[in-house]
Amino acid sequence: MTITRRVFLRNGALAVVGTAAVPSFLTRAALGAIESGTRNKRLVVIFQRGAADGLNIVVPHGEPQYYAMRPSINIPRKAGLDLDGFFALHPSLSSFQSLWQQRHLAIVHAAGSPDTTRSHFDAQDFMESGTPGIKSTEDGWLNRCLHATPDSEKKSAFRAIALGPSLPRILSGSEPAVAMNNINDFTIGGRSQKTSPLANTFEAMYDHSLDSLMHGSGQETFDAVKMLKSADPAKYKPAPGADYPRGRFGDSLRQLAQLVKADLGVQVAFADISGWDHHVNEGSTEGQIANVLREFSQSLGAFWTDLGDLGEDTVIVTMSEFGRTARENGSRGTDHGHANVMFVLGGPVKGGRVYGRWPGLDQSQLYEGRDLALTTDFRQVLGEAVSRHMGNKNLAAVFPGFDNQAGKFLRYLG
């Protein structure tokens, strides 16, 4: 079969004008996909760093106690975007409304880590390692997720991607993964002192690998990097309607969409967004939380639109280290809490529904008399995506010490 450059321009992935040849590994990947009819499935994890206020993100406006506990920062009933008569989205999440109506977006409330820490550092570490309460875990659950996923023997250099300056805890481990701030940093200048830091990272990944298959694909990795560079990433045009907001998070998702649409074998990806630690002047329909929610939802909405039909094979899960106190504090903010809210977006998602058991906000129902109680372990949410979407059935290895059997899944995936 003859493969031309047109094969690699799906959804406008790369404008390879002037590229004389398609790298051999892309040719083989395209041939394999055409002959087998297989489709690459992807899992994207988004971390809201700083402990997002789940009660003001997905508002339980059917709870009278919510308004009593938050006299100055509550989201008024008329302002929220009603979901089911009991819950409503914060108005800054309007970009999510159509996704909810199209049933591509599901919500899991009262979810999070069972560990009781209120330390940002420890809680983030536990959620990224996937072993709450255990600090000795050396690798991250998203890296372990790759161990037994189908087609893992392909070992694409772009298989595991983190958008950021360094590799996050969640992707650390034995499976190769790459962190980058900007696609334009993918500059291969040969093996000299002038070679970019990222190029050196790639060379180290392959030259020192004990896996002969990985070692043998090193030159093909450099070919792929050169192809991205020759495509002039700065001129990438998202799909119509994919309007990314300015800022680091929007830029990260824009570049991730480009990598996914380039068919370079992305299976798992990670990005984060900070700015959720609102102890003072959190705001309500306007203010700090409204601003970060707007950036958060518009970026994810644009990413979903940009993926086009590739969204059918993509699941996006969001999480934060813990929630905020049920009551506002004396500074019109909220302090470190416990349970939170998670969003799940994707083609296979059975959306338009709030999953999990709602624990209530009566004083007797609060955790330690101050926080939303936890009813769904975050590993239960992630485990379903790992097993049912990514095809890794060995959840005991991905989340050691957690009883994550299929019978306990929320069934948010079709």
Bridge partners of 105, per DSSP, are: 345
Pairing type for strands 105-112 and 314-320 reads unpaired
Bridge partners of 325, per DSSP, are: 371
Q: For residue range 317-339, what is the model confidence (pLDDT) as tens digits?
A: 999 999 999 999 999 999 999 99
Question: What tokens were used for 309?
Answer: 């039909």
For residue 355, the model assigns a pLDDT of 98
Q: Is the pLDDT of residue 311 over 90?
A: yes
Q: Are 82 and 88 in contact (CB under 8 A)?
A: yes
Residue 162 or residue 20, greater confidence: 162
For residue 221, the model assigns a pLDDT of 58
For residue 149, the model assigns a pLDDT of 83
Pairing type for strands 88-89 and 81-82 reads antiparallel
Bridge partners of 42, per DSSP, are: 314
Q: Is the pLDDT of residue 47 over 90?
A: yes
- Integer Cα distance of 30 and 216 in angstroms: 19
For residues 298-310, average pLDDT: 98
- Integer Cα distance of 346 and 102 in angstroms: 11
For residue 10, the model assigns a pLDDT of 35
18: alpha, beta or left, given left = phi > 0 and alpha = psi -120 to 50?
left
Secondary structure class of 48 (helix, strand, coil) = strand
Q: For residue range 209-263, what is the model confidence (pLDDT) as tens digits?
A: 434 333 334 565 566 666 666 666 678 899 999 999 999 999 999 999 999 998 8
Q: Is the pLDDT of residue 38 over 70?
A: no
For residue 36, the model assigns a pLDDT of 41
- Name the least confident of 94-108, 178-192, 290-304, 388-402: 178-192
For residues 21-48, average pLDDT: 63
- pTM to 2 decimal places: 0.86
For residue 414, the model assigns a pLDDT of 87
Q: What is the mean pLDDT of the chain?
A: 85
Bridge partners of 413, per DSSP, are: 349
* Helix 248-261 with 288-307: angle, nearest 10 deg: 10
For residue 263, the model assigns a pLDDT of 83
For residues 354-364, average pLDDT: 98
- Integer Cα distance of 128 and 306 in angstroms: 27
Please provide the DSSP assignment of 285-327 as one string.
SSSHHHHHHHHHHHHHHHHHHHHGGGGGGEEEEEEES--BBSS
Which pLDDT band, with edges at 50, 70 and 90, does 84 fall under? very high
- Integer Cα distance of 332 and 313 in angstroms: 42
- Integer Cα distance of 113 and 370 in angstroms: 16
Residue 184 or residue 367, greater confidence: 367
For residue 302, the model assigns a pLDDT of 98
Q: For residue range 114-141, what is the model confidence (pLDDT) as tens digits?
A: 999 999 999 999 999 999 999 999 999 9
Closest residue by Cα to residue 333 from 73, 51, 23, 49: 73
